């Protein structure tokens, strides 16, 4: 999943970006609401982390603009001020959750997952496809009850394909959800990850649609 981090504090912004990237997310980091609006016009984000204390247009104003412009993904407000009135105003303006600085990265990741579940209308942290079970929270995969070890990128590709079951995702779509701005991407990186997934999970799980992309078909009804 691709996340937009809007944070004007350089140390906190960089630390948050690195921590989330180590968890397998693609994270684009901007330092103002104006840059955030530009990024949202250019890219699809599953979640936006929005600092309230931004220079120029503050986070609450930016949230209103994002929702008015049709952004329907998850929005988490990040704030140093833990005031009930502020939280109520943010939730009423369209925020999905709040987290107060300083925060624990594991808690932030959990809140991101929860907010994205709600935004997608999904209630559980598990994706199931036949005998394949993907645990999003613990980043674990089992097949026929046996654990399968995947790299971070392999796990994210599998998650994306399962979440879009039956839909073909292009190499470019997968790359956008795997790599942040400026990240080095080998031309065959996705193809290599798909190859490794097939070796670990079976050749028939992921279908290649020639010149278009990759797909995991929905399980056939019994």
CATH of the domain at 167: 1.10.10.10
Nearest by Cα to 100 from 116, 81, 84: 81
CB atoms within 10 A of CB 178: 22
Tell me what pLDDT residue 202 has.
Answer: 94
Judge if 54 and 162 occupy the same domain.
no
Out of 120, 155, 178, a domain closes at 120
Q: What is the mean pLDDT of residues 26-45?
A: 93
Split into its structural domains, the chain has a count of 2
Range of lowest pLDDT (22-31, 95-104, 122-131): 122-131
Token look-up 């190499």 returns: 171
Q: Cβ contacts of residue 122 below 8 Å, gap of 6+?
A: none
Residue 199 phi, psi (nearest 5):
-65, -35
Q: Is residue 152 part of a domain?
A: yes
- Confidence check: pLDDT of 151 > 70: yes
Q: Of 120, 153, 170, which residue is a domain's last? A: 120
Q: What is the pLDDT of residue 122?
A: 60
- Quote the pLDDT of residue 154: 95
Residues 211 and 102 in one domain: no
User: Are 27 and 1 spatial neighbours (Cβ–Cβ below 8 Å)?
Assistant: no
> What pTM was estimated for this model as a whole?
0.71
As a dihedral over the C-alpha atoms of residue 52, residue 56, residue 61, residue 63, rounded to 10 degrees, the angle is: -60
Same domain for 49 and 149, yes or no, is: no
Mean pLDDT across 15-37:
93
Establish if 220 belongs to a structural domain. no
Question: Can you give the pLDDT at residue 88?
Answer: 85
Specify whether 94 is located in the same domain as 8: yes
CB of 21 closer than 8 Å to CB of 27: yes
Q: Are residues 81 and 145 in the same domain?
A: no
Does 28 map to a domain?
Answer: yes
Q: Dihedrals φ, ψ of 92, to 5°? A: -65, -30
- The pLDDT value recorded for residue 187 is 76
Note whether 69 and 116 are same-domain residues.
Answer: yes
Is the domain of 114 the same as that of 177? no
- Has residue 82 got a pLDDT over 80? no
Position 197 scores a pLDDT of 96
Residue 83 lies in a domain: yes
Residue in 35, 18, 41, 54 with CA at minimum distance from that of residue 180: 18
Domain that holds residue 22: 2-120
Q: Is the pLDDT of residue 70 over 70?
A: yes
Per residue in 130-150, pLDDT tens?
A: 999 999 878 899 999 999 999
């Amino acid at each position: 999943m691709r996340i937009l981090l809007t944070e004007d504090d350089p140390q906190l912004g960089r630390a948050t970006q690195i921590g989330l990237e180590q968890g397998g997310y693609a994270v684009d980091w901007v330092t103002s609401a104006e840059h955030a609006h530009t990024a949202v016009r250019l890219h699809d984000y599953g979640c936006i982390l929005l600092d309230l204390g931004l220079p120029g247009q503050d986070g609450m104003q930016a949230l209103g603009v994002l929702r008015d412009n049709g952004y329907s993904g998850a929005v988490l407000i990040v704030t140093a001020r833990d005031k009930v009135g502020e939280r109520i105003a943010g939730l009423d303006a369209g925020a999905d959750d709040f987290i107060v600085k300083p925060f624990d990265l594991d808690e932030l990741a959990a809140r991101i997952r929860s907010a994205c579940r709600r935004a997608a209308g999904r209630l559980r942290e598990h994706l199931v496809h036949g005998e394949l079970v993907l645990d999003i929270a613990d980043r674990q995969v089992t097949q026929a009850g046996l654990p399968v070890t995947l790299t971070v990128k392999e796990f994210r590709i599998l998650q994306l394909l399962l979440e879009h079951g039956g839909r073909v995702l292009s190499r470019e779509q997968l790359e956008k959800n795997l790599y942040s701005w400026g990240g080095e991407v080998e031309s065959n990186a996705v193809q290599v990850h798909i190859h490794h997934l097939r070796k670990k999970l079976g050749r028939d799980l992921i279908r290649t649609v020639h010149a278009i992309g990759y797909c995991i078909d929905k399980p056939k009804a019994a």
